[in-house]
Structure 1
Amino acid sequence: MTVSVVIKTLNEEKNIARTIEFALAALPEGQGEVIIADSGSRDRTVTIASGYPVQIVQITAPARPSCGLGPQLGYQYAQHEYVCLIDGDMDLDPEFLPEAIAFLDRHPRTAGVTGHVQEMMLDNLEYTRRVQRNAPENRIGSIDRMNGGGLYRRRAIEDIGYMTDRNLHGYEEFDLGIRLRDGGWKLHRLDRRFVSHYGHSINSYRLLVRRWKSKYLFGIGEVLRAATGKPYFHRMLRELPELRLWAVVWAWIVISLVIMLALPGLLLPLGVVVGIFCAVVVLMSFRKRSFSLGLYTVVAWFFHAVALPVGYFRPRRNPRSWIESRPVGEPDEESSAQPDNATEPHLVDPGRASG
């Protein structure tokens, strides 16, 4: 039983060599393949990766980068029974794959297994500080999604039609998880390390703007749109509590507009609206024990809430369609041709979809 390790990349020249070396070393008994699924890097990512015994595939027009595109891009070229997803700034633990494969062998209805993502934070130009994600969805045992990647059973992905939705700029792991669970499959987190993640720090407000420009914030609306009309739609509403928060924020926005229109003059309604905003900031500052964190939290609420309808009404492409791409090193004119396995049920002709 062999593994296809898919490394998602977009401008990862600083980390890609180390990531590839760890992935190659982690292949059980050296068997399997490593696929670089590149979403159009403009730095030296592809050049560096070309020096290793890996397959490199890169998107071509009209495909556009998104969080959901990278995993699907790698999956459509993967050849083996198990598919392991990691990012281009992650080091795959050398002992993870054998243990994960053994777990899947013992649990035939489990579609995927992952472990802990060990964060390596940059401190004084060195990665020295280590923290572990503690979000509820990262608990040990049965989980609803595999944030950060993991090892998937190919048969389970074929059962639900495709791996990740190319239209999603966020929440692609949740979307994959809920589709698998709706199909009767399970996901599991082992109490062991899966990868070390070499992230980077950035000013919080700059990060908000960056996530808006990259369309990452649109992901919540996009995943809501993708689930509309599906059997698991109401289940998704229950499992994404942030949707309720954004609904409250939108109610706040509507009430503020009503106040501005209903009260006489300008100063009085403006004062009421600003007063409500300040009161909420004070409350959150008390809860966060920091005024700057309290203010940032409230500002971030508005960014996310406004992004939701923008994401929901974005046009969608058929998530089952072949992602326009080519293996690096082959002529461009061959890039639009689909390989023989493109006729499998989970890969269909490119085309537009309304939902």
Structure 2
Amino acid sequence: MSVSVILKALNEEARIGPAIESVLAALEGIGGEVIVADGGSRDRTVAVAARYPVRIVQLEPAIAPSCGIGPQLGFQYSHEPFICLMDGDMLLDPGFLPDALAFLADHPGVAGVTGHVVEMNDTSLEYVRRGRRISPENRIGEIDRMNGGGLYRRAAIEQVGYLSDRNLHGYEEFDLGVRLRARGWTLHRLDRSFVRHFGHAINAYALLVRRWKSGYLRGIGELLRAAFGKPQWKQLVQELPELKLWGAVYLWLAVMAVLPFLTSHPGWGLAIDAAVIAGVIALMSARQRSLSLGLYAVVAWLFHAAALPLGFFHGREAPADWIDSRIVQDIP
């Protein structure tokens, strides 16, 4: 029942030490290994991690980091029959692994089990909005994905070929969930804490710009491209709620684009456009019970909608291929 814990990290020098310590404490009495999968940190992440008895692996400089490449990097160096995936800015709940292992032992058809990701960052609109969001993947019991990580059965991962698609800059958990469920496996969320997540303590709009530059916002387009023509395509399109949202956003933008040409005076059309925008922001603000959150939600929609086609038409590499990397430190 030993566990390979994969900590994916990129410039996490302030958090990686406490994250490793929480994992080492949780592994006492269970056994296993800790793998820090570093995406090419430019700070002291690797130096801090090297103080602990962990395996540190790092992407070769020519390989660009992504949300999908980190988990797969760690997986290709792991050995244990169970894989626990988490971020380098998380703290693992000390009682999660025993409960998760017991659940998997009692439910052989379950590929992975997780718990609640407790958001600790209340300074960024992004994480406040995430904490308030009611999404299917956050429910208790059977779920379609394990956002934020959790404990996976290695046998299930090997059956579907790879842990995480290296090409994805986002939605890598949903991609894995679809592939597992297409093979008959299920995923489960326990009604207990899995990790505490601290996130980026920066302005939400600056985070949006950072995610645009890093390619993170292209994730949903890349996810669609990865599934296109595959057996899971129909299931993915049916189950991904964001597609309806982006479709509505595209329709909204198309209507606003033609409105100025449908009125007798272009200025009237622009005025209607402004009124529609104000109305959408007001509606979202009422739903979020916050003007700042409502405005941020609409701006985030526009960023995601613009990034989707860029992701869909982006080139791909074979997701199961070996990732060029090096072992910085092995487990003593």
**TM-fit CA distance, 1:265:** 5.9
Could you list the per-position Cα deviations for residues 43-93 of structure 1 after superposition, in whole angstroms to 9, with x for gaps in the alignment?
Answer: 001001111111000000432111111100000000111111011011112
Write the distance in 2 (CA, Å) between the matches of 1:177 and 1:230: 14
Residue pairs, 1:59-138, within 5 angstroms = 59-121=59-121, 135-138=135-138
Write the distance in 2 (CA, Å) between the matches of 1:133 and 1:301: 14
Report the counterpart of residue 303 of structure 1 in structure 2.
Answer: 303
Write the distance in 1 (CA, Å) between the matches of 2:266 and 2:187: 55
Write the distance in 1 (CA, Å) between the matches of 2:241 and 2:271: 31
Contact 1:260 1:266 in 2 (8 A): yes
Write the distance in 1 (CA, Å) between the matches of 2:281 and 2:102: 50
Write the distance in 2 (CA, Å) between the matches of 1:122 and 1:273: 33
Write the distance in 1 (CA, Å) between the matches of 2:251 and 2:178: 28
Q: Structure 1: give runs of 5+ residues left out of the alignment.
A: 124-130, 331-355
Q: State the TM-score, normalized to the length of structure 1.
A: 0.85
Contact 2:119 2:197 in 1 (8 A): yes
Contact 1:8 1:36 in 2 (8 A): yes
Report the counterpart of residue 315 of structure 1 in structure 2.
Answer: 315
Moved over 6 A (4+): none
SS at match of 1:281: helix
SS at match of 1:231: coil
**TM-fit CA distance, 1:256:** 2.5
- Pairing 1:240–2:240 present: yes
Report the counterpart of residue 186 of structure 2 in structure 1.
Answer: 186
Write the distance in 2 (CA, Å) between the matches of 1:296 and 1:45: 31
Change (3 A) 1:138 1:279: closer
SS at match of 1:166: coil
Amino acid at match of 1:26: A
Could you list the per-position Cα deviations for residues 254-289 of structure 1 after superposition, in whole angstroms to 9, with x for gaps in the alignment?
Answer: 222333455566434333333332332333334334
Contact 2:19 2:88 in 1 (8 A): yes
**TM-fit CA distance, 1:230:** 1.6
Contact 2:38 2:70 in 1 (8 A): yes
Could you list the per-position Cα deviations for residues 264-315 of structure 1 after superposition, in whole angstroms to 9, with x for gaps in the alignment?
Answer: 6643433333333233233333433443333322222211111111111111
Residue pairs, 1:334-353, within 5 angstroms = none
Amino acid at match of 1:211: R
Residue pairs, 1:253-272, within 5 angstroms = 253-261=253-261, 263=263, 266-272=266-272
Q: Larger relative contact order (C-alpha < 8 A, sep ≥ 6)?
A: 2
Report the counterpart of residue 26 of structure 2 in structure 1.
Answer: 26
Report the counterpart of residue 324 of structure 1 in structure 2.
Answer: 324
Q: State the TM-score, normalized to the length of structure 2.
A: 0.90
**TM-fit CA distance, 1:207:** 2.3
Write the distance in 1 (CA, Å) between the matches of 2:290 and 2:100: 41
**TM-fit CA distance, 1:329:** 5.2
Write the distance in 2 (CA, Å) between the matches of 1:140 and 1:270: 46
Write the distance in 1 (CA, Å) between the matches of 2:282 and 2:191: 39
SS at match of 1:29: coil
Residue pairs, 1:197-216, within 5 angstroms = 197-216=197-216
SS at match of 2:120: strand
Write the distance in 2 (CA, Å) between the matches of 1:64 and 1:306: 22
**TM-fit CA distance, 1:165:** 0.6
Contact 1:119 1:132 in 2 (8 A): no
Could you list the per-position Cα deviations for residues 202-246 of structure 1 after superposition, in whole angstroms to 9, with x for gaps in the alignment?
Answer: 323222222212211111111111111122212212211211111
Task: Indicate the larger mover: 309-318 or 112-121.
Answer: 112-121
Amino acid at match of 2:256: S
Report the counterpart of residue 46 of structure 2 in structure 1.
Answer: 46
Change (3 A) 1:298 1:107: same
Contact 2:2 2:30 in 1 (8 A): no
State the Cα RMSD in Å.
2.1
Contact 1:139 1:189 in 2 (8 A): yes
Q: Which has the larger radius of gyration?
A: 1
Contact 1:117 1:133 in 2 (8 A): no
Contact 2:136 2:143 in 1 (8 A): no
**TM-fit CA distance, 1:328:** 0.8
Report the counterpart of residue 150 of structure 2 in structure 1.
Answer: 150
Residue pairs, 1:275-294, within 5 angstroms = 275-294=275-294
Q: Structure 2: give runs of 5+ residues left out of the alignment.
A: 124-130
Amino acid at match of 2:168: L
SS at match of 1:305: helix
Change (3 A) 1:133 1:117: farther
- Pairing 1:11–2:5 present: no
Report the counterpart of residue 353 of structure 1 in structure 2.
Answer: none
Contact 2:57 2:329 in 1 (8 A): no
Contact 2:19 2:92 in 1 (8 A): yes
Write the distance in 1 (CA, Å) between the matches of 2:281 and 2:248: 15
Change (3 A) 1:216 1:95: same
Task: Indicate the larger mover: 268-277 or 170-179.
Answer: 268-277
